[in-house]
Amino acid sequence: MRIITIMIFTLFMATHAFAQGAMLAVKLAEKPLVTVEDAVTLFMLTTDGKTQGFTKDTQALKAKGILPKEYNANAPATMGLVAYMIAKQENLKHSLMFTLFKSQRYAVFACIAAGYLPANAGENIKLSGVELMEIMGRLGGE
């Protein structure tokens, strides 16, 4: 009886976690522009499999040097910001200029070379929810 109870509880927990991820995907897909907060949340779910809230996630990313020091949570997320986070997380060496300067501009080039971003990507292009999910799908699909 105890084993059955544990199995049922585990099943409900897995279903609940999947439902949260599915709801986030639906919410993001409907957004014409995603915010930095949305990008950080999806980045954490893709790389760590969990999120602890925006404040704790940003503290963890800053401690690892993945998130730039200056950002606005409600500002639109750009390809440059997402590329910077990916390049730092994956320790990309595809761009000598990114290795030297660690800027969002060169992070975009490194991510294009690594296949995370499309060839027409630009540093200041604002992302929609669908575009962000596509990029994170490439990151998580390794």
CA–CA dist 30, 32 (Å, integer): 7
C-alpha distances out from residue 51 to 64, 75, 110, 128, Å? 16, 20, 26, 21
CA–CA dist 4, 119 (Å, integer): 51
Q: What is the pTM of this model?
A: 0.83
Give which of 94, 98, 79 is closest to 34, Cα–Cα. Answer: 79
pLDDT, tens digit (0-9, with 9 covering 90-100), for 63-117: 999 998 888 999 999 999 999 999 999 999 888 888 888 899 999 999 999 999 9
